[in-house]
Chain A
Amino acid sequence: MSPSMSVTQNNTDTRLLLYGTILCFPLAINYGLWFFGSADIIKTFTLYSAMLIMAVFFVTNNTRDFVPIKFYLGTLIIISLSSPTFAWDARSIWLFHAKRIWIDHNLFAPLDGYASWSHNDYPVFVPSLSATLALCIHAWNEVLPKFANVLVAVPALMVLFAPLQGITARLLCGSLILFICGGSILNGLMDGLVALYTTAVSIIIFSFWKFEEVNQHRYLWLTALFLMTSILGVLKNEGVLAIACVIMAAEIIGSLYGMKRPPLVMYGVMVLSLLPIITWEMACANYHVVNDIVGWPMFARLKSRVRSINSYQQILTILSLQKILLVPLVLHITTGRLKINCPMWLFVSCVAALYMIALLAIYLSTPYSLHWHLMNSADRTIQPIGLMLGYYALLQLNIRYAKQRPTG
């Protein structure tokens, strides 16, 4: 066994994991209430309870390590509430769906075929929360509904901050997230949230294979896995892709290193967590609303481009030349040379490679002009890979630094 294999304790801050998990409940319940068409007062109650949990987090836990997290979240909240919605996708897709849900009092309002350019098949988890925010103020504006993004981002941020020890690592993690996701975690876009949740779900799933501490708080980790995976699935269509990549990578690396398999209940939880997205896709099929990329014609388009070297060259060049991929990639290669935690390094490499292959397939089957599609989306679709590479590099450096730090 190599020295790097001995890292079985990740010292995750369970308080942060607990807060993140508890905060997921009102968000998930809010979606469920919209899905089943319950009374408005109950929906607003779930939103107020989410805000109450956040307030409790800010008021309690006055230890030094929590200061960077409180400062970070507080600043994100202020920026979100002091800026209007500019981005095209945010306005024309996510917040337009939210407005339709709020006005029509119906989660399935976007499925009626009106304004088909608005990608009506996209899941409406965050739009349903924006609709609840509008319910609370009995009005629509360009500021408050996108605050739902911050509310959804907070649980994933807490899971990401949890394994990091010390103020410096947490501050660097905050910078890294902003560098890679930029404003997309608070401007109404879903891509930043997908990146955050993909990384959070990957750290939870990998912990089941690698870290013994999961057994100490098994139900907490299972609940966190269920809620985070459910939310990732209904954030955007890429969410399901990310879940598949993470679980496949964990299986590959787990078998490669002969790690102890996680309990069967974890697989059961993973399957259950796909129920929200499955029910949404069934509703789309019921309303005959189809996705613009995924479907039978995608195979014909894929077939027409699959032998074109130029297409591969174009996709790989544009994707790999994004600064939000290059900087984390350098960090990732550096930590690979240091051999801090080989299974973790290989796991994140495997997830990144699988996700990249999936992106390649999606771009090859796009119904739009390849160049146009890449130029309009490459900096957003690459975010999950960039954040995973960067975050795991930081985590490994943090583990190495914690091991070197004198104890007592």
Chain B
Amino acid sequence: MVTAAYTRHAKAIIMIISPFYKYIAPLGALALLLWQLYAVMMGQGFNCMLLFRAVQPKAGSEMVLPAIAIDADVLLLRHGITHFALGQNLDDHIIQRITEYTYPLRVDKDAPVLITTTNEMPPGCTLLERTGHVALYVRHSK
């Protein structure tokens, strides 16, 4: 009795959805695509406000760069410095971000100025300026 009722219901459902059979495959494929697109969007740090700033200078910098790289760039430009050395407290990751972001200003270990973290006190140097994350020192001639 119960099995017959289930069969009857199943047949009724099949009859209802049968005109839509041809849409099931494309809709399933569309759902899969939308899911993948959503996953990619989330993985890439999608931010719709960036779309309106996509042609502005330095758009998105604050989202991906450490504050120390942005501060270093501001300090170096303010003082018109073209070549600078980097302090020993900075790790490789930060050094690479500063090198990329500040280009065409160049990292040069023999440069007369030094960019360091605020908690580093390089010997034989005079503080030129300090901001929230970095300090700019002038090296005394050897």
A85 contacts chain B at the CB level, 8 A cutoff? yes
Give the one of B41, B44, B103 with max A CB within 10 A.
Answer: B44
Say whether A143 contacts B59, CB under 8 Å.
yes
List the interface of chain B (C-beta within 8 A of A): 25-26, 29-30, 32-33, 35-37, 39-41, 43-51, 53-61, 63-65, 92, 96-97, 99-100, 103-104, 106-107
The reply to whether A99 and B61 form a contact with Cβ atoms under 8 Å apart is no
Q: Which of B54, B58, B107 is in CB contact (< 8 Å) with A81? A: B54
Give every chain B residue within 8 A of A92 (Cβ-Cβ).
96, 100
Q: Which of A160-205 contact B (CB under 8 A)?
A: 167-168, 171-172, 174-175, 178-179, 182-183, 186-187
Return the contact of A171 from the options B26, B40, B96, B103 (Cβ within 8 A).
B26
Contact with B along A237-253 (1 / 0, CB 8 A): 00000000000000000
Cβ-based interface call for A362 (8 A):
no
Q: Which residues of chain B come closer than 8 Å to A79, judged between CB atoms?
A: 37, 40-41, 44, 46
CB pair A141–B46 under 8 Å, yes or no, is no
B64–A84 touching, CB < 8 Å: yes
Q: Please classify the interface of chain B as helix (H, G, I), strand (E, B), loop, or mixed, using the class held by over half of its residues.
A: helix
- Which among A83, A171, A183 has the highest number of chain B CB atoms within 10 Å? A83
Q: Please give me the residue from chain B that is nearest to A169 by CB atom.
A: B29
A175: contacting residue among B32, B44, B59, B107, CB under 8 A: B32
The docked-state distance in angstroms from the alpha carbon of A81 to that of B52 is 9
User: Complex: how many Å from CA A183 to CA B33?
Assistant: 14
User: Which 5 pairs across A and B sit closest by C-beta, in order of nearness?
Assistant: A142-B60, A84-B60, A171-B29, A139-B57, A178-B36
Tell me if B47 and A103 are in contact (CB < 8 A). no
Q: Are B96 and A83 closer than 8 Å at their CB atoms?
A: no
A96 touches B (CB below 8 Å): yes
A84-B64, A142-B60 known; A171-B50 Cβ under 8 A: no
Q: Give bound CA distance, A140 to B58, whole Å.
A: 6
Asked if A187 and B44 sit within 8 Å, CB to CB, the answer is: yes
Given contacts A141-B56, A142-B61, A142-B63, contact A83 B103 (CB under 8 A): no
Query: Chain A residues in contact with chain B, CB under 8 A?
Result: 68, 72, 75, 78-79, 81-86, 91-92, 95-96, 99-100, 103-104, 114-115, 117, 137, 139-144, 147, 167-168, 171-172, 174-175, 178-179, 182-183, 186-187
User: Which one, A91, A142, A178, contacts B37 given CB within 8 A?
Assistant: A178
Are A81 and B50 touching (Cβ within 8 A)? yes
Q: Which residues of A contact B54 (CB under 8 A)?
A: 81-82, 141, 143-144, 147
**How far, in Å, is B16 (CB) from chain A's closest CB?**
22
Asked if A142 and B32 sit within 8 Å, CB to CB, the answer is no
Report the separation of the CA atoms of residues A172 and B92 in the bound assembly, to the nearest whole angstrom. Answer: 41
Report the separation of the CA atoms of residues A103 and B104 in the bound assembly, to the nearest whole angstrom.
7
Q: Are A178 and B103 in contact (CB under 8 A)?
A: no
B50 & A143 in contact (Cβ 8 Å cutoff): yes
Q: What A residues does B100 contact at CB under 8 A?
A: 91-92, 95-96, 99
Q: Which residue of B has the minimal Cβ distance to A187?
A: B44
For the A-B complex with A82-B51, A83-B50, A142-B59 known, give 11 more contacts whose Cβ atoms are closer than 8 Å.
A81-B50, A81-B54, A84-B64, A91-B97, A91-B100, A115-B96, A139-B56, A141-B57, A141-B61, A178-B36, A183-B43
In the complex, the answer to whether B43 meets A182 with C-beta atoms within 8 Å is yes
Residues in A with CB closer than 8 Å to B49 are: 82
Decide: A142 near B64, CB < 8 A? Known: A79-B41, A84-B50: yes
Q: Can you pick out 9 interface pairs between chain A and chain B where the beta carbons lie within 8 Å of each other?
A: A72-B33, A82-B49, A82-B50, A82-B51, A83-B41, A92-B100, A140-B57, A141-B57, A143-B50
Contact A82 B46 (CB under 8 A): yes
Closest residue to A179 on the B side, CB-wise?
B36
* Distance between Cα atoms of A86 and B63 in the complex (Å): 9
Task: Pick the residue among B57, B64, B106 that contacts A114 (CB under 8 A).
Answer: B106
Residue numbers in A under 8 Å from B97 (CB-CB)? 91
Instruction: Please state if B96 and A117 are interface contacts (CB–CB under 8 Å).
Output: yes
Distance between Cα atoms of A290 and B135 in the complex (Å): 36
Residue among A78, A104, A141 making CB contact with B60, cutoff 8 Å = A141
Min CB distance, A150 to chain B, in Å?
12
Q: Which of B46, B92, B107 contacts A83 (CB 8 A)?
A: B46
CA distance A202 to B53 in the complex (A): 39
Name A78's contact: one of B25, B26, B51, B61 (CB within 8 Å).
B51
Closest chain A CB from B58 CB (angstroms): 5
| Contacts A99-B100, A99-B103, A142-B59 given; does A84 touch B45 at CB 8 Å | yes
Q: Contacts of B96 on A, CB cut-off 8 Å? A: 91-92, 115, 117
When the two chains form their complex, are residues A82 and B47 in contact, meaning their CB atoms are under 8 A apart? yes
Q: How far is the CB of A313 from chain B (nearest CB, A)?
A: 30
| B77–chain A nearest beta-carbon distance, Å | 14
- A221 vs chain B, min Cβ distance (A): 28
Q: Within 8 Å CB of B33, what residues of A?
A: 68, 72, 171-172, 174-175, 178
